[in-house]
Amino acid sequence: MKFKDKAPAPDKVKNPEPPPLELYKESRLAQEQLSTLLKFLPDPVFAFTLGNKVDYINPAFERVFGWTLKEVKGKNINFIPDHLIPQAKQGMKQLFENLAVHDFETQRYTKDGRILDIVINGAIMYDDQNQPAGQVLILRDMTIEKRMAKSNRIMFRISKALHQYQQLGDLIPLINREIQGLISVEGAFILLADESTDELYFFSAQYRNRESEKKFKKIRFSANKGVSGRVYKTGNPILIPDVTQCSFFLRRVDDETDLVTRGILSVPIKLKDRTIGVVSVVNKNHGNFDTTDIELLSIVTASIALPIENTRVHEELRLSYEELKTLNHAKDKVINHLAHEIKTPVSVLSASMKLLSKKLTALDLGKTGLENPGLEKMIEKIFTRGQRNLNRILDIQYEVEDLLRKKDFKAYNLLNKLLEACKDELSILIENETENQDMITRVQTTIENLFGPKKINASSLLLDEYLTRKIEGLQPKFHHRRCVLTTKIAKGVPVYIPPEILDTLITGILQNAIEYTPDKGKIDIMLKNTKNSPELIFTDHGIGFTQEKLHLVFENYFTPPDSLEYSTKRAYDFNAGGRGFDLLRIKLFSEQYHFQIRINSNRCRVIPKDDDICPGDINRCLACKTPNDCFNSGGTAIHIKFQSPGPKVLENGSGCI
């Protein structure tokens, strides 16, 4: 057979033909030269008949595609991907029309299921009568070159985008989309490690649609489980072509989402000193995963590891800064609120004394038989002194507010210094005015008791018994409220915490729960022991928080109601409000005494805004036909998780608070 680009023109042979033996030798030499050329040609060569039966493949074809000549001689090789069959037919049509084809880009399967990017050059083969007898194709493997070029383009786009995104939530989805396009897969996932819990979680899921992605983001699992977990722990990539044959494949992810995993490739996201996450891709669109995919994905992960970590650190710093601003704002609000709390009662006392003074002035002491100029002067002196000291308290209050803002005020130290500075003068005054010689000592003791640092000692307590006694002790205070209180308390749950702190914890949360739950409402208290870590949960089916308020819940709880409103209500009344410091204090205690506090809340859908008003009784709510309508409408759950019990030094600074 002969190859040519187009049919040769007839040529009249004028010279005599060479002898047959010479022709044979020349033909034999040409065949040997052609065989040697094909044998050492680096590109695969594929010759086949018009019936698509293999006539010849060279060693390069065997090496690249995996089939041997012995396996496929006289047979048809089905190595064209289904989605490229129309393209292949168009290429064959082009070949027969032009008698040749040049630089035809396409893809073909290998024997082991990999898919290669190739460029085809070929021509028609002719027999001795110049009739088409088949085709011969040279298939150049361009897989690595094309994928590297594609990888470079993707890395260029990612590098351009890095400076545009300072938040991890914006950067990673972009990276994930590029990975999905690079490897050509159904799903691409970036999992990051939560080192505090030793878990992996889906930070970004590129799969089908947004609803599917939301399902993945709810999933967290131990870093010791699954293919991704093994990659994270070992720091080595893993390729699983068939997950049904994998003993450590985590089927939970498929069960909780609409993913049906067939094959998976996972590569670690590594920094110099540690692994921070995993990139996993599933279900290659065409063919199976191969070592080229591992290399490409490894290049991408190596390039994005540091930007991801830098972005995460930047985001953590930003969140820390925002939290610091929130705490600073909370401090300002607490100071302002304290100022209000001090000014109000002092102002009331001042007004009351003025009113009492007027009443006494209007009273005719002569008619009462108490007419005595000395008595009148004494009363006037007493009221004047009282008013003067009330004004001094107000002045001190303003000074304390300013000093607190500068964080350099310590009542205990200040009063002690004042006492020491005036000790001699006070001693003389006391000796002249009273016979009590130990007055200075008593004053000093009072200062110590009221303002001195107090040592708080932790002790081992059975939380279930303490909680039961505390609830029973508090019930008379909210007996007037018609709320249903249910408890589910596990037995024998030990904790190690100062009783004073635990008392404040239970009282504060329970009071807030009752005050924001309408009459006929329900409050559930649960104590359970999970993995030797006691967890206390207060759940009220009350009005709940709006999302805007939820992230500020520990700043100052809700802004307290107007003074007139909460001054006319008792503690534990619905929406009584009050100072609103309880949860803020508990937040501060959690940092000092090493317990975790978490809050989940949904605002009642009937009153979705902060200024919407609940009637305070389920029976008076027009939207509630039954109590369950209220129970299912809104509420708040506060989770307190204690550390495993054991002696700890619970001190603030020097051991005192």
**How does pLDDT run across 325-383, given as a tens digit for each residue?**
887 777 766 766 666 667 667 767 777 777 777 777 666 655 555 556 676 677 777 77
What pLDDT, on a 0 to 100 scale, did the predictor assign at position 370?
Answer: 55
Higher-pLDDT residue of 22 and 511 is: 511
**Angle value at C-alpha 522, between 519 and 526, nearest 5 degrees:** 150
In a domain, 151, yes or no: yes
**267: enclosing H helix or E strand:** strand 264-270
Contact indicator for 10, 135 with CB cutoff of 8 Å: no
* Mean pLDDT within 540-552: 82
Choosing from 87, 117, 141, the residue where a domain stops is 141
- pTM, entire model: 0.43
Taking residues 555-566, what's their average pLDDT? 44
Angle at 383 between CA 379 and CA 384, to 5 degrees: 115
CA distance 268 to 280: 9
Is the per-residue pLDDT at 220 higher than 60? yes
Range of the domain at 603: 459-641
Residue 410's pLDDT is: 47
| Residue 341 backbone zone (phi > 0: left; psi -120 to 50: alpha; other: beta) | alpha
Whether residue 371 lies inside any domain: the answer is no
> Given this model, what pLDDT does residue 7 score?
47
Looking at residue 368, its pLDDT comes to: 57
Assess whether 445 and 594 both reside in one domain.
no
Sign of the C-alpha dihedral computed for residues 241, 244, 249 and 255 taken in this order:
positive
Taking every pair of Cα atoms in the chain, the longest distance, rounded to a whole number of angstroms, is 168
Look at residue 151 in the predicted model and tell me its pLDDT: 76
Residue whose C-alpha is closest to residue 222's, from 235, 232, 212, 207: 232
Query: Cβ(584)–Cβ(334) under 8 Å?
Result: yes
Higher-confidence residue of 79 and 2: namely 79
Highest mean predicted confidence (pLDDT) among 428-437, 553-562, 566-575: 566-575
- The structure tokens listed for 23 are 């022709």
Q: Tell me the mean pLDDT in the region 116-123.
A: 91
633 shares a domain with 572:
yes
Same domain, 302 and 414: no
Q: How confident is the model at residue 653 (pLDDT cuts 50, 70, 90)?
A: very low
pLDDT of residue 652: 38
pLDDT tens for residues 159-172?
777 667 666 667 77
Q: Identify the pLDDT of residue 22.
A: 64
- List, as own/partner pairs, every contact residues 579-583 make where C-beta atoms lie below 8 angstroms and the sequence separation is at least 24, other chains included: 579/337, 579/341, 580/337, 580/556, 581/334, 581/337, 581/556, 581/557, 582/504, 582/507, 582/508, 582/509, 582/511, 582/512, 582/557, 583/508, 583/509, 583/512, 583/553, 583/554, 583/557
Mean pLDDT of 188-216: 88
Task: Name the 3-class secondary structure at 388.
Answer: helix
Which residues are CB-contacts of 637 (< 8 A; sequence separation ≥ 6)?
Answer: 537, 538, 539, 540, 599, 600, 601
Q: How far is CA 297 from CA 144, 268, 305, 312, in A?
A: 13, 9, 12, 21
The C-alpha atoms of residue 142 and residue 62 are separated, in whole angstroms, by: 16
Average pLDDT estimate for 40-66: 89
The torsion of the CA quartet 627, 633, 636, 637, rounded to 10 degrees, works out to 80
Q: Clarify whether residues 504 and 436 are in a common domain.
A: no
Q: Is 276 helix (H, G, I), strand (E, B) or coil?
A: strand
Would you call 533 exposed, middle or buried from its count of C-beta atoms within 10 A (0-12, 13-18, 19+)? middle
Quickly state the pLDDT bin for 409 (edges 50, 70, 90). Answer: very low
CATH number at residue 65: 3.30.450.20
Give the model confidence (pLDDT) of 72-112 as tens digits. Answer: 999 999 899 988 999 999 988 888 888 888 999 999 999 98
Query: Is 593 found in the same domain as 527?
Result: yes
| Side-chain half-sphere exposure of 466, counting CA atoms within 13 A | 22
Question: Which pLDDT does position 407 carry in this prediction?
Answer: 41
Torsion-angle region of residue 384: left (phi > 0), alpha (psi -120 to 50) or beta? alpha
Q: What is the average pLDDT across 539-545? A: 92
- The answer to whether residue 346 sits within a structural domain is no
Tell me if residue 103 falls in helix, strand or coil: strand
Amino acid at 301: T
CA distance 314 to 540: 37
Q: Does residue 287 sit within a domain?
A: yes
Residue range 501-528: average pLDDT?
91
Task: Report the distance separating Cα 184 and Cα 288, nearest Å.
Answer: 11
- pLDDT confidence of residue 327: 79
Q: Do 123 and 4 form a contact (C-beta atoms < 8 A)?
A: yes
Give 649's pLDDT tier (boundaries 50, 70, 90). very low
Give yes or no for residue 212 having a pLDDT over 60: yes
Q: Which pLDDT belongs to residue 281?
A: 93
581 and 502 both lie in a single domain:
yes
Residue appearing with tokens 């994270």: 232
Last residue of a domain, one of 283, 298, 321: 321
State which of 33-37, 511-515, 569-573 shows the largest mean pLDDT.
511-515
pLDDT-derived band at 579 (thresholds 50, 70, 90) equals very low
The pLDDT confidence band at residue 525, using thresholds 50, 70 and 90, is very high
How confident is the model at residue 557, as a pLDDT? Answer: 43
Q: Tell whether the model's pLDDT for residue 647 goes beyond 60.
A: no
pLDDT band at 565 (very low <50, low <70, confident <90, very high): very low
User: What was the pLDDT predicted at 365?
Assistant: 56
Structure-token match 């950067």, residue found = 171
List the alpha helices (DSSP H) in 187-264.
Answer: 210-217, 226-234, 252-256
Asked if residue 584 belongs to a domain, the reply is: yes
* Confidence band for 657, pLDDT divided at 50, 70 and 90: very low
Count of the separate structural domains present in the chain? 4
Pair (181, 204) in one structural domain? yes
User: Does residue 548 belong to any structural domain of this protein?
Assistant: yes
552 and 614 together in one domain: yes
In a domain, 366, yes or no: no
Are 276 and 253 contained in the same domain?
A: yes
What kind and span of H or E run contains 311? helix 291-362
Tell me, yes or no, whether 509 lies in a domain: yes
State pLDDT tens for residues 19-40: 666 655 565 566 666 667 777 7
153 shares its domain with 172: yes
Closest Cα to residue 635, out of 560, 566, 539?
539
CATH number assigned to the domain comprising residue 163: 3.30.450.40
Q: Is 111 exposed, middle or buried (0-12, 13-18, 19+ CB in 10 A)?
A: middle
Q: What is the mean pLDDT of the chain?
A: 79
What number is the average pLDDT over the span 277-288? 89
User: Does the pLDDT value for residue 324 go beyond 90?
Assistant: no
Residues 193 and 119 in one domain: no
pLDDT band for position 208 (50/70/90)?
Answer: confident
| Centroid of chain to Cα 356 | 61
Query: Quick one: pLDDT band at residue 429, thresholds 50, 70, 90?
Result: low
Q: Are 519 and 628 found together in one domain?
A: yes
Return the structure tokens found at 455.
Answer: 């040592």
Can you tell me whether residue 344 is helix, strand or coil? helix
Lowest-pLDDT choice from 111-115, 134-138, 267-271, 324-328: 324-328
What pLDDT was estimated at residue 564? 40
- At 469, which CATH number? 3.30.565.10
Q: Residue 161 is encoded by which pair of tokens?
A: 């985008």
Q: Is the pLDDT of residue 515 over 80?
A: yes
* Model confidence at 405: pLDDT above 60: no
Identify any residues that bridge with 497 across adjacent strands, giving them in sequence order. Answer: 459
Choose from 32-41, 262-271, 310-319, 556-565 the range with maximum mean pLDDT.
262-271
Listed residues 295, 321, 347: the one ending a domain: 321
